[in-house]
C-alpha cells in the first residue's frame, strides 16, 4: 500500500516527460503560440506536482506526513484536471475541435491543487505535534547511538552524555 505513492510518482513522471516531449516536437507546428504556452504551463505544473507526489510518498513512509496516500490522490486529481485540461485544449485545437467543455476544468484543477497543498500543510503540522511528544529518553538514546559511531568506546559516549546533560542523563539512565 505504501509503495503506491512511489508508483504514482513514477507513472506521473513518465507522463510528464512524454507529454513535454510531444508538446515540444509534435504540437509546435499545429497550434498557435498562446496554446503552446498553455500546454507548457500544464507540463510545468505536472512536473512540479509529480515531484511533490514523490516527496510526500517518501515523507509518508518516514512518518512525517499523515494520510499521505490521500494527499497524493488529491495532487493526482489536481494534475489530471489542471494539466490534463490544458493538454486537452492543445490537442483539441490541433485537431480543430471545440474546447468549450475543456476550458472550465482548468480552474477547478487549480483549486484542487491548492487544496492538496492545504491538506499537506495540515497533516505535516499534526505530525510535528506527535513528534514533539516523543520521550526524551528516546532522543537521548538516538543521540548516544549516533555519537557511538564516532567514538572508540561506549564509555566515551556515556561520559559525554553525562557531561552535557547530567540531570537528564541520570534521570533516564535507569
For the chain, domain boundaries: 4-132, 136-172
Three-state SS for 44? helix
Distance CA(134)–CA(102), nearest Å, equals 49
What length is written for the chain?
A: 174
pLDDT value for 77: 96
67: pLDDT confidence band, cut at 50, 70 and 90? confident
Per-residue pLDDT tens digits for 104-157: 899 999 999 999 999 999 888 654 545 555 544 555 555 555 555 555 555 656
171: pLDDT confidence band, cut at 50, 70 and 90? low
Distance CA(148)–CA(97), nearest Å, equals 68
> Distance from first CA to last CA of the chain, Å, rounded?
39
**Crossing angle (nearest 10°) for helices 68-94 and 4-25:** 20
Residues 6+ apart with CB under 8 A from 11: none
Distance CA(143)–CA(88), nearest Å, equals 53
Distance CA(14)–CA(1), nearest Å, equals 21
1: pLDDT confidence band, cut at 50, 70 and 90? very low
Amino acid at each position: 500500500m505504501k509503495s503506491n505513492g512511489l508508483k504514482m510518482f513514477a507513472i506521473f513522471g513518465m507522463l510528464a516527460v512524454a507529454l513535454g516531449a510531444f508538446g515540444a516536437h509534435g504540437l509546435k507546428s499545429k497550434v498557435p503560440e498562446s496554446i503552446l504556452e498553455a500546454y507548457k504551463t500544464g507540463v510545468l505544473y505536472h512536473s512540479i506536482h509529480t515531484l511533490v507526489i514523490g516527496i510526500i510518498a517518501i515523507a509518508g513512509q518516514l512518518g512525517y506526513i499523515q494520510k499521505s496516500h490521500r494527499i497524493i490522490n488529491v495532487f493526482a486529481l489536481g494534475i489530471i484536471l489542471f494539466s490534463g485540461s490544458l493538454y486537452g485544449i492543445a490537442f483539441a485545437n490541433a485537431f480543430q475541435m471545440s474546447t468549450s467543455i475543456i476550458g472550465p476544468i482548468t480552474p477547478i484543477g487549480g483549486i484542487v491543487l491548492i487544496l492538496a497543498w492545504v491538506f499537506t500543510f495540515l497533516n505535516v503540522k499534526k505530525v510535528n505535534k506527535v513528534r514533539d511528544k516523543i520521550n526524551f529518553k528516546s532522543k537521548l538514546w538516538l543521540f548516544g547511538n549516533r555519537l557511538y559511531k564516532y567514538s572508540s568506546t561506549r564509555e566515551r559516549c556515556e561520559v559525554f552524555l553525562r557531561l552535557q546533560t547530567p540531570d537528564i542523563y541520570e534521570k533516564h539512565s535507569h
